[in-house]
Structures are given as structure tokens and as C-alpha cells.
């Protein structure tokens, strides 16, 4: 894994060195050509093509997220170019100039190091094969050694290769920082993205609230209302009964129905919002969910204290919905809930041994995702067919204001 990453970065640096030569040639030609107004659209197209190649190289070989780079738009001259605003600092030509300098300098240093390492390795190996090595004294503080020139060559060459690996990693990191600095979205672009995200989140919250209202209405209609009608009918029959024994029997049935009605009301109220969450905290509320579940639920609570009310509520509903889905739809026999935290975020992860295949776009899970996103959190569902299923949510400890 690590070796493959180094090889990919080395390929990216090698391609970047070749691209740096093209960028240097373009800049040398663009400097005088920019004085001719008729050539400026062609220069803009050339700059756009070079920056597009840089985006592709950075995302393909240097693991830079494309969302961290600038977006494209159509300019008035019809040329595809970077979106420029006050936040991007007109990064096109500046980026190409810095990139060309970094690519050529870094490529020269890496190539020189590689050449010297190969020379030392080949020379050392040749000396050992020919058995013509000469003794080389190594006088270190407190230590006196005598070794052969072949071993010295091999050791030094291997050390240079290790240094080369570090140089490639450092050069790749500089490439990523340079691209993020000059090609990253500017202030207006970031604001546009944030507004779009908040708009989508607000719409999602409205849909989630409507879905929750419909669910509560169904619970009241199918459960509470039906039992209320049955209770009224029993009391009506008892009221008009003339036989004392029959009246007592109907009153007993009405009493039983009233108890069941109260249990149904408590169940609906608990599904809407558990009072234990406010009174006793997240640990106690999840313990209640585990007790009501039809399968064993293990809760690992690793939080140091209480959280903001909206954060605890979101974590609770994520865990409860995941447990409900695992019991009703996945046929799980064992469920694990883990609550953890770091300095800035808190997470809940629910895993089960059920059949898997959970649909993240379904009403319940999509509503949870909207609830989590409204608090600037992340929500993931990993549920391959056959299982296991893992649902996780991560939220900032300090929820967004407003």
C-alpha cells in the first residue's frame, strides 16, 4: 500500500516535470504575445488547458481532492477558464509560473539524486562482483572500522534512495499546497457553495419534518385512535347494559382497553421524543432503546459528558432508527452501538450482523442524513447485500449557529 502510494507520487512528479517544461515554454511565449490584444483569447485557452492538465495530474497521481480546486465557467470570449474572483487572486499565470519553477527545480534535484544513487549502487555492486574492493577506514568518535569500497557504495546508494523517497513525498506535498493556494475556490465560490448547501439542507429539513408528521399521524390513526374508538364502544355498551354481570364484564374490558390505549400513547410519545434524553442524557435514552429492542443491543458509551441538546438528539435518532431497521428489515441477531469523541467531533456507529442491503435513499435513512447534514455533520451507510451493515454519523460538538 505504502509502496504503491510512493510509486504513484513519483509518477505524478515525473509527469509534472515534463508538464513544467511545457508551462515554461508557454509562459515564455505568452509574455510578449500578451501585448497583442488579438492573441489574448488564445492565451486564455492555452492557460485553461494547462491548468486542466494540472488538475487531472494532481487528482490522478497526487491524491488531491478535485473539489479543492477551482471550478470552470465560460468566459465572454468563449474560452473555458478558471472562475476568477477576489478570492482566487488571479491564480492562473501565477500558478503556472510557480509550478514551472517548482517542477524544474524539483525534477533536477530528484533526477540528480537518482543518478548519483544508481551510480553508487552500480559501482559498489561491480566492485563486490569483481572482488576488487579496497579497504576504506571509517574513523568515528570512539569507533574505528575498516570496510570495503563496495559496501560503502551500496550503503550510500541505498541511503540516497531513501532520501529520494522523502524528497518525492515532500515535492508532492508542495505541489498539493501550491494548487490549493492558487487554484482553490475563492471567497465568492466558497460562499456560493455554502449557500447552495444550506438551501439544500433547509429543503431537506422541511421534507424530514413533513415525513415525521405523517408518521405520527399514521401512528395516532392506526393505533391510538382505533383503541379510543374501541374504548368508547365498550363504555357505550356498558352504559346501556341492564345485566349487572354483563356490565361488569364490559367495564373490565374497557379498563383493559384504556390501559392499552395509555401504553400506545406512551409508545407514540416515546417515538416522537423521549423525555429521558433531556432528563437523564444520551446514555440512558439509548439504554431504553436497547431494552425495547427485540434483539441484544450492546452500547459502548465513550463520551466524557453531556453534549448540546441538538447534537444529542441527532445521535439518538440515528442510533434508534438504525436499530429499528436492523430488527425489522435486516433480521439482525446482534447490534453494536459505539459512541466516541475527539476534541471537536462526536460520532456514533451502529453495526449489525443482519442481511444488509439497506437503502440509504429510503425515507428513514435519508431523513437521518438530512438531520445530520443540518448540523454540519457527515452520515454514511455501508450495507452490502448479505451484510454486515454499518451506519455512522459524525457531528461537531459545537453545532452551527442560526
Q: Is 60 exceeded by the pLDDT of residue 140?
A: no
CA distance linking residue 87 with residue 83, whole number of Å: 10
CA distance linking residue 64 with residue 54, whole number of Å: 11
- The CATH number given to 279-396 is 3.30.565.10
Greater confidence (145 vs 185) lies with 185
CA distance linking residue 307 with residue 52, whole number of Å: 45
Q: Characterize 322-349 residue by residue with b for buried, 16 or more Cβ atoms within 10 angstroms of its Cβ, and e for exposed.
A: bbebbbebbebeebbbbbebeeebbbbb
pLDDT tens string 81-134: 333 433 334 456 888 888 889 888 988 898 899 988 888 888 878 777 776 555
pLDDT tens string 297-349: 888 888 888 888 888 888 888 888 888 888 887 788 889 999 998 888 999 99
Q: Is 50 exceeded by the pLDDT of residue 262?
A: yes
pLDDT tens string 375-400: 888 898 888 888 788 999 999 987 66
Question: Is there a contact between 254 and 234 (Cβ–Cβ < 8 Å)?
Answer: yes
Report pLDDT for 76. 36
Amino acid at each position: 500500500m505504502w509502496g504503491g502510494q510512493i510509486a504513484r507520487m513519483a509518477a505524478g512528479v515525473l509527469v509534472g516535470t515534463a508538464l513544467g517544461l511545457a508551462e515554461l515554454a508557454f509562459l515564455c511565449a505568452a509574455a510578449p504575445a500578451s501585448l497583442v490584444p488579438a492573441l489574448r483569447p488564445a492565451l486564455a485557452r492555452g492557460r485553461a488547458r494547462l491548468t486542466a492538465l494540472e488538475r487531472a495530474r494532481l487528482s490522478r497521481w497526487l491524491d488531491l481532492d478535485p473539489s479543492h480546486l477551482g471550478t470552470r465557467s465560460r468566459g465572454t470570449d468563449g474560452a473555458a477558464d478558471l472562475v476568477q474572483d477576489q478570492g482566487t487572486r488571479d491564480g492562473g499565470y501565477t500558478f503556472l509560473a510557480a509550478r514551472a519553477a517548482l517542477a524544474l527545480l524539483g525534477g533536477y534535484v530528484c533526477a540528480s539524486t537518482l543518478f548519483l544513487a544508481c551510480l553508487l549502487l552500480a559501482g559498489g555492486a561491480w566492485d563486490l562482483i569483481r572482488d576488487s574492493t579496497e579497504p576504506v577506514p571509517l574513523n568515528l568518535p570512539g569507533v574505528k572500522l575498516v570496510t570495503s569500497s563496495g559496501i560503502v557504495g551500496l550503503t550510500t546508494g541505498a541511503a540516497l534512495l531513501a532520501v529520494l523517497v522523502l524528497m518525492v513525498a515532500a515535492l508532492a506535498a508542495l505541489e498539493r499546497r501550491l494548487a490549493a493556494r492558487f487554484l482553490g475556490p475563492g471567497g465568492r465560490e466558497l460562499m456560493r457553495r455554502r449557500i447552495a448547501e444550506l438551501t439544500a439542507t433547509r429543503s431537506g429539513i422541511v421534507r424530514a419534518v413533513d415525513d415525521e408528521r405523517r408518521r405520527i399521524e399514521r401512528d395516532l390513526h392506526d393505533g391510538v385512535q382505533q383503541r379510543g374508538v374501541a374504548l368508547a364502544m365498550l363504555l357505550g355498551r356498558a352504559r346501556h347494559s341492564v345485566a349487572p354481570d354483563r356490565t361488569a364484564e364490559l367495564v373490565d374490558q374497557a379498563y383493559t382497553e384504556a390501559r392499552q390505549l395509555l401504553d400506545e400513547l406512551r409508545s407514540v410519545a416515546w417515538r416522537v421524543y423521549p423525555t429521558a434524553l433531556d432528563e437523564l442524557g444520551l446514555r440512558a435514552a439509548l439504554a431504553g432503546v436497547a431494552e425495547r429492542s427485540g434483539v441484544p443491543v450492546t452500547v459502548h458509551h465513550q463520551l466524557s459528558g453531556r453534549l448540546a441538546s441538538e447534537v444529542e438528539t441527532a445521535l439518538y435518532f440515528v442510533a434508534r432508527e438504525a436499530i429499528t431497521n436492523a430488527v425489522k428489515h435486516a433480521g439482525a441477531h446482534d447490534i453494536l452501538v459505539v459512541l466516541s469523541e475527539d476534541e471537536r467531533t462526536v460520532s456514533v456507529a451502529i453495526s449489525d450482523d443482519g442481511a444488509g442491503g439497506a437503502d440509504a435513499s429510503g425515507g428513514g435513512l435519508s431523513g437521518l442524513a438530512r438531520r445530520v447534514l443540518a448540523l454540519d455533520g457527515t452520515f454514511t451507510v455501508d450495507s452490502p447485500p448479505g451484510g454486515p451493515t454499518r451506519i455512522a454519523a459524525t457531528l461537531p460538538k459545537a453545532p452551527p449557529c442560526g
